[in-house]
Structure 1
């Protein structure tokens, strides 16, 4: 701490609690409280698990601006009572300064010394939101969609994949590889036939049974009370859903394969009566597509409520990398309080890559038994962290 000292009155509401000495740190020698007054606007909620300083160092490192020390060392002074309340209850006194909160953190002090606080700067609202998550033992979890939780195909993408695979089979001499690719091609052809039936007739023939669409009402995120009606067929035994991104345009029909054991993972995220994670989605897909894919994964909106949907499903523009700063730009959550589940690492900003838990890509056509042979990677990662 620097030895340059200022004196400032300490206020809580309309009550003056006394005067304190302010010692700015060497990195912030010009720091001064607004109007040279320490006006406490409110207190943070008590921390149930972590000392306030450790929380601040996690979400806003190197943010100590100054030391605040009472001019009075008596046990009965108002500042001492403020200090004791903050120290015992693991809470901070908050001074407002523009778009930042100045948190006064009560520090351990020798019995014969005046009470002492460290003043730390934190973006407004960030401390309370992270404290709330820590008290609940809850983290943020960010999911990718395509090839992490789902694989989706349109008629066009099926045709492109079938054409490409057919050419590779024609050029391949190894009978073992030809056999594997032929099995993959068969699975593509079967699903393409299902999608064709759905797109043309709003029904599919599955195991000799004709299954018609079920019209599902979908709230429109951009409208307060309006809903759209989507024709949907759910083949639960195959973890497959047929849907239409734009209900009015049949060419937007999509066949979606859901990653096996997603239901187990979804239940686990909110198991035992407590919310283990605050859930977000970050994808490079278009918004209408992303919102419908997430609706198929979370049909009852247990993981992301309909009110939170627009801010929690984040779509990254083509050519840009994903970033947690972008995911959390409209909400108060710090990247250090988050983990990411994605099948690719390099699509994320360098600084966020340590938070990314890379899982094997979901490949239901190339390796359909891979998900059954072992515990689902997505589920394992979430359980290990929780």
Structure 2
């Protein structure tokens, strides 16, 4: 993978790339929304819930027609099923043919997990811009990422959903499909070590695209790019409201992560490896790059301005599909979304921040801010001054296990930090760098606590540039 300049990317399925519903899950969501409407006094919210119920009912009727007749009536025209043969994986002799209806104008697909059991029919909505992300991963036949899937869904369901997302098996070949689609039991933590149990990749070389952070093992969370949960019934226009769709932002993040990783690999690790001698001490060994150093990790405790109740979790859990396939009664969907996780604001920022709070005295006074702002402000200074800001991991000389990070501003070291975690060391390094810039009388920073945490007034400069007064919103 290193020779091919290739990293790994791990996708979640439900509410990240798709939303899928059965008749049972449609009915459950309609019933739940109806109960909410009965106790809601705000007419605006009532109207929103009513519109959401209408969207559920419309798709439920299409699914019911598909179950009963193997056809759907879409905008007055009757669309019949296409028999799609599922290419068997190596070692599997059974030939499987599924009835499928594709509705490209709705960005939807109807399929049947078990062709022999009509109750396993599902209505699948594909997330907009998936084709853009998929095209980036396969552009010009050049492999940029090895693709994996990690989901809490039942295996047959997961394999069919991935077939719909990657029908030509360009992202994961049939030979690798069995190992690359990893299903985790509901309630368990996802882990990159489990995803790469065959040793095909090191977790440091992998990034994750998921709508939930806490389902991942704590040691892997800094490698997760969290996307807002896909909610086509709750907010159908939300995906296209921003100039850049969610999955296009994920594509840009993946591009920046890959570029940053291999730049550090070439300039730091590879270069220093050739300078090592047999007599060198252990502390002289260069630190290997980590994908997590180039991801923006949002603060899940950041208060949301939207006070509306959280949307009903979309999609369906693997437990539901498993019960339906086994003929058992349906139970309520247990999947919960983290409504407090916000999408990344700018995919161009290559360094991630951390969660928590700290005290800083940028102007001699004390104010509480989230530590990730140190990194964000420093990056903004570099961007406005056309200066490259880099965070590089170094080996701590302390006798106890600690992480050490140094900050380079236009290839000049301006700060360093040491902490029990790399996040802590990075924040400390950014804070010291800001203090050093200020002490050089080239930079004045004021973070206004009464405004949004990402609003700041700054008089920024650099000794290679004249000072200028900037207002950053």
Query: Is the TM-score greater than 0.5?
Result: yes
Structure 1 residues 9-20: aligned runs within 5 Å: none
Pairing 1:47-196 to 2, within 5 Å after superposition: 133-196=1-64
The aligned residue for residue 292 of structure 1 is 160
1:380 corresponds to 2:277: no
8 Å CA contact retained: 1:219, 1:226? no
8 Å contact from structure 1 (residues 282, 316) kept in 2: yes
Shift of 1:318: 2.1
Distance, in Å, in 2 between the alignment partners of 1:325 and 1:287 is 19
1:315 corresponds to? 183
Deviations 1:326-365 (A, max 9, x none): 0000242000000000000000000000100000000000
Q: How does 1:267-306 map to 2 (within 5 A)?
A: 267-306=135-174
Query: Quick check: which has more Rg, 1 or 2?
Result: 1
Map of 2:105 onto structure 1: 237
- Cα distance in 2, alignment partners of residues 163 and 296 from structure 1: 29
Once residues 131 and 253 of structure 2 are traced to their aligned partners in structure 1, the CA distance between those partners, rounded to angstroms, is 17
Greater mean deviation of Cα atoms: 263-272 or 251-260: 263-272
Query: Is the 1:341–1:378 Cα contact (8 Å) retained in structure 2?
Result: no
Q: For residues 327 and 340 of structure 1, what CA distance do their matches in structure 2 show?
A: 11
1:43-88 deviations in Å (ceiling 9; x for gaps): xxxxxxxxxxxxxxxxxxxxxxxxxxxxxxxxxxxxxxxxxxxxxx
CA distance in structure 1 between the aligned counterparts of 2:49 and 2:207, rounded to whole angstroms: 35
**Residue 148 (structure 1) shift:** 0.1
- TM-score w.r.t. length of structure 1: 0.64
CA distance in 2 between counterparts of 1:155 and 1:222 reads 33
1:198 has 2:66 as partner: yes
Task: Give the Cα separation in 1 of the matches to 2:82 and 2:4.
Answer: 39
Contact 1:145–1:283 at 8 Å: present in 2 too?
yes
Query: Residue 325 of structure 1: which of 183, 193, 196 is its match?
Result: 193
1:154–1:222 CA distance, 2 compared to 1 (3 A): farther
Name the CA distance, whole Å, in 1 between partners of 2:192 and 2:246: 22
Rounded to whole Å, the distance in 2 between the matches of 1:291 and 1:222 is 14
Aligned twin of 1:32: none
CA distance in 2, matches of 1:156, 1:331: 40
Asked if the contact 2:129/2:247 (under 8 Å) is kept, the reply is: no
Q: Distance between the aligned counterparts of 1:383 and 1:291, measured in 2? A: 27
Please give the secondary structure, in 1, of the residue aligned with 2:55. helix
> 1:253–1:222: structure 2 CA closer, same or farther, 3 Å change rule?
farther
Q: Distance in 2 between matches of 1:135 and 1:379?
A: 27
Determine the C-alpha separation between the residues in 1 that align with 2:74 and 2:88. Answer: 31
- Give yes or no for contact 2:52–2:234 (8 Å, CA) kept in 1: yes
Q: How many residues are treated as equivalent by the alignment?
A: 254
State whether residues 150 and 258 of structure 1, in contact with CA within 8 Å, keep that contact through their aligned partners in structure 2: yes
Deviations 1:129-152 (A, max 9, x none): xxxx22222110000000000000
Aligned-residue offset at 1:225: 4.1
1:223 is displaced (CA, Å) by: 4.2
SS of match in other structure, 2:174:
coil
Dislocated runs of 4+, deviation >6 Å: none
Check whether the contact 2:22–2:120 (CA below 8 A) recurs between aligned residues: yes
- Quick one: distance in 2 between partners of 1:307 and 1:382? 26
RMSD: 1.1
Q: Which residue of 2 aligns with 1:353?
A: 221
- Asked if the contact 2:90/2:174 (under 8 Å) is kept, the reply is no
Q: Distance in 1 between matches of 2:212 and 2:92?
A: 36
User: Hey, which of these two has a bigger chunk of strand by percent?
Assistant: 1
Deviation at 1:222, TM superposition (A): 6.8
Structure 2: gaps spanning 5 or more residues: 256-473
What is the aligned partner in structure 1 of residue 286 from structure 2?
none
Q: What are the within-5 Å matches in structure 2 for residues 223-234 of structure 1?
A: 223-234=91-102
Q: Deviations over 1:104-148 (max 9, x none)?
A: xxxxxxxxxxxxxxxxxxxxxxxxxxxxx2222211000000000
